[in-house]
Chains A and B, each alone.
Chain A
Amino acid sequence: MTAAGYRMRDWEAHPPLLFPDYKSTVLRAPTKPLVPLKHTLSELTGPVYGHERVGPLDADLTKNGAKNGEPLGERIVVTGRVLDEDGRPVRNTLVEVWQANAAGRYIHKVDQHLAPLDPNFFGGGRCVTDDDGRYRFYTIKPGAYPWGNHHNAWRPNHIHFSLLGPSIATRLVTQMYFPGDPLLDLDPIYLSSPAGARERLISDFSIDVTEPGFALGYIFDIVLRGRYETPMETPK
């Protein structure tokens, strides 16, 4: 008996490969249709990483780049659950994040935006979800920054997320946004995901997650592809 496969990518949620408003897609999107692939053991498996790869400060971006003090900016807590489409927690899976500093500057060498680097902020981190699928980071609220896509283009504040999940079929790289950001409706990357789905990329402010006298709290739940119950449901 073949094992049940993962549900297909929901193209009513994910952006199309070609989205001309985001100009870099024009020369980088395949022109031919994707070839459907029925899941084999190759697709039902994927890299397995657990706590052994995560250092004690990896989930605290306010400390893991500190040289001689605290990073500048607004300290925040970002937490949420990683779930599958059936609402089950995705346990013990690696969550990697990277982001700009409070001034909207990435430490990356190709970022030439004229905003200051922060000697006490690196901007990369990771953690592993717990038994409820929950992750938690401390960080600094990232700033907006200009980019070259079109005249006066600015990226909304965002944190990049990378998730493995249980198989290569559940792999996801995405971006978390902040509520009320006026740049969202002007951003072709955010707008590339269909209306009705892209709103799921916006985190919720939470006074319950907020730590008194210390940091504002945001909740961002992430849903990875689920799995068919039985092989019979697998299409084709």
Chain B
Amino acid sequence: MTMKQTPSQTVGPYFAYGLTAEQYGYPFTAIAGGKVADELCTGDRIHVTGRVFDGNGDPIDDAMIEIWQADSEGRYLHPEDGRSSNSVFTGYGRYGTGTDPQNRFLFETVKPGSVDGVQAPHINVILFMRGQLSHLYTRIYFSDEVEANAKDPVLDTVPEARRETLVARREDMPIGVVYHFDIHMQGEKETVFFDL
């Protein structure tokens, strides 16, 4: 090891036109948005939505949520995942909380399969915001995967009382299956964040 890591700095309040331009209506393309799966993707179509709350319980309107997930068969579109996939699914989404009137993030995707047959289905989350100097990682698990969640080795490392903060609540709505996942930066329901 010869080089030292470049320090992180906050994404600040003005990331929208650089990183999520299309969502915010700026004249620049974005590499990813809220629609992670299009009609060609196989798998169970789901919506994942929620808000990010600060220590006062107020929704944060300048956070950016990135998601990274496997396809419906548990495969990542990445050279490290040796399993071949015909999927057109990139597995990557980005959404800023500044455009929805309720400051929700809104992803349309497919439910991921189990990655390695050991871990429960999950979506990896990277969180950025003004007032955050280094980004945070968390995971979204699913409330209708009770058995798989009980055997998940990552959830197993989390104090039992806090595991619930990582489980998105399923609701069957007219638009389809919606998973609700709120992120709490502080307070009784403070979300578990990982050092990875």
Contacts and interface: CB of A to CB of B under 8 A. Distances in A.
Interface string B121-149: 01010101111111111010000000000
Nearest to B28: A124
Nearest to B54: A27
A174 B13 contact: no
B176 interface: no
A47 B28 contact: no
B6 A201 contact: yes
A15 B19 contact: no
A15 B134 contact: yes
A209 interface: no
Given A36-B157, A108-B13, A122-B17, A27 B55 contact: yes
Contact of B4 (A24, A49, A107, A223): A223
Contact of A15 (B7, B32, B154): B7
A56 to B, nearest CB: 12
Contact of A30 (B56, B91, B158, B193): B193
Nearest to B27: A122
Given A40-B119, A111-B14, A122-B28, A27 B4 contact: no
A71 B3 CA distance: 37
Given A19-B133, A193-B9, A173 B4 contact: no
Contacts of A25: 131-133
Interface residues of A, number: 87
Chain A interface helix/strand/loop/mixed: loop
A40 B116 contact: yes
A24 B130 CA distance: 7
Chain B interface helix/strand/loop/mixed: loop
B195 A85 contact: no
B80 interface: yes
B190 A173 contact: no
A171 to B, nearest CB: 6
A172 B158 CA distance: 25
Contacts of A32: 162, 190, 192
Interface stretch (A6-14, A178-186, A211-219): A6-14
Contact of B132 (A29, A64, A83, A221): A29
Contacts of B194: 34-37
B185 A172 contact: no
Contact of B192 (A10, A35, A190, A200): A35
Given A94-B31, A160-B9, 7 more contacts: A8-B195, A25-B132, A32-B190, A35-B192, A47-B92, A172-B8, A189-B10
Top 3 closest A-B pairs, CB basis? Answer: A98-B18, A24-B131, A15-B133
Interface of A: 3, 7-10, 13-17, 19, 22-32, 34-37, 39-49, 53, 55, 64, 83-87, 94, 96-98, 100, 106-111, 122-126, 160, 162, 166-169, 171-175, 189-190, 192-194, 197-198, 200-201, 221-226
